[in-house]
Structure 1
Amino acid sequence: MLWLKAFHIIAVICWFAGIFYLPRLFVYHAMAEDQATRDHLKIMERKLYRFISPFAVLTVVFGTLLIAQNPDYYLRAGWLHVKLLFVVGLIAYHLYCGQIVKKFANEQNQHQHVFYRWLNEAPVIALFVIVILAVTRPF
């Protein structure tokens, strides 16, 4: 179980590193005025999204395997249900970021940099809630 937990945490860290940085690239992209910069950011966004996507999958896989180690406890734990709700939200956020990557790639961005600055804050809130729930197991 400790190995699963270690790999779960590693996958989460790698996923979050990208989830924190990708919207920052969107901010720069929305602010970019010259085509060369926008083209460079398109490449960075696409590569980063492709890099972090497997870590999102691994996070879910290792988390599921951890739950499977003691399903009687975990499936009755209220804190886990809330945590999983936030994880589902993060997966939706991740997929939404993928749609934004495609929009930038096709020169179809519809938002200003301020929108992406706010978008960048959502995973921070989710991270706080998820870690606090996983560590304290309050209910």
Structure 2
Amino acid sequence: MLYDWLKALHVISVIAWMAGMLYLPRLYVYHCEAAPGSKESETFKVMERRLLRAIINPAMGATWIFGVSIAWLGHHWDQPWFWAKVVLVLGMQGAHGGLVHWQRDFAADRNRHSQRFYRFVNEVPTLLMIGIVILVIVKPF
């Protein structure tokens, strides 16, 4: 029963993390259009900071806590699909780190990237998520 509760909490955390990871780069795309120091730019800064600090970061932490608990209780350590999933989740963690870095750049009015760059960045979490879900559900190896 504990295992099922942990899985439910893990899925809820992943959904919240992914929602933020998919939305934040879109905010960056629109933020690129706003002149530094403008009212629009300042509004985007608040939205980006709040999304990161109130949703994405806590959801990521909860995802790790519940995920490691599930792996421990489910004895998944010896499964090849599990280690492939870990690699993709670490990739997601790297994408998260990039989003944090770029949020700090926007907050300091020193963004160096184009809308096109952030449109590409927006696809990375989606591709990682697809791989992770396939590994967990299908367990191809």
The answer to whether structure 1 residue 118 and structure 2 residue 113 are counterparts is no
CA contact (8 A) 1:22 1:45 kept: yes
Aligned-residue CA RMSD (Å): 0.9
- Aligned residues between the structures: 137
Structure 2 partner of 1:48: 51
Shift of 1:31: 1.6
Partner of 1:63: 67
Structure 1 consecutive aligned stretches of length 4 or more whose deviation exceeds 4 Å:
none
Partner of 1:38: 41
- Structure 1: stretches of 5+ with no match in the other structure: none
SS in structure 1 opposite 2:78?
A: coil
1:31, 1:112 within 8 Å by CA — same for their partners in 2?
no
The percent of aligned pairs where both chains have the same amino acid is 38
Letter of the 2:51 partner, please give it.
L
Which SS does the other structure have where 1:107 is aligned? Answer: coil
Report the AA paired with residue 54 of structure 1: P
Moved more, 95-104 or 29-38: 29-38
Residue range with higher mean Cα deviation, 33-42 or 59-68:
33-42
State the one-letter code of the partner of 1:6: A
Cα distance in structure 2, aligned partners of 1:70 and 1:131: 17
Q: 1:34-73, CA deviations, whole angstroms, 9 ceiling, x for partnerless residues? A: 71100100000000000210100100100000011032xx
Q: Distance in 2 between matches of 1:107 and 1:59?
A: 31
5+ residue gaps, structure 2 = none
The aligned amino acid for 2:126 is V
How far does residue 33 in structure 1 lie from its aligned partner after superposition?
Answer: 3.6
CA distance in 1, matches of 2:71, 2:123: 28
Distance (Å, rounded) in 1 between the aligned partners of 2:57 and 2:27:
16
Following superposition, the deviation at residue 75 of structure 1 comes to: 1.1
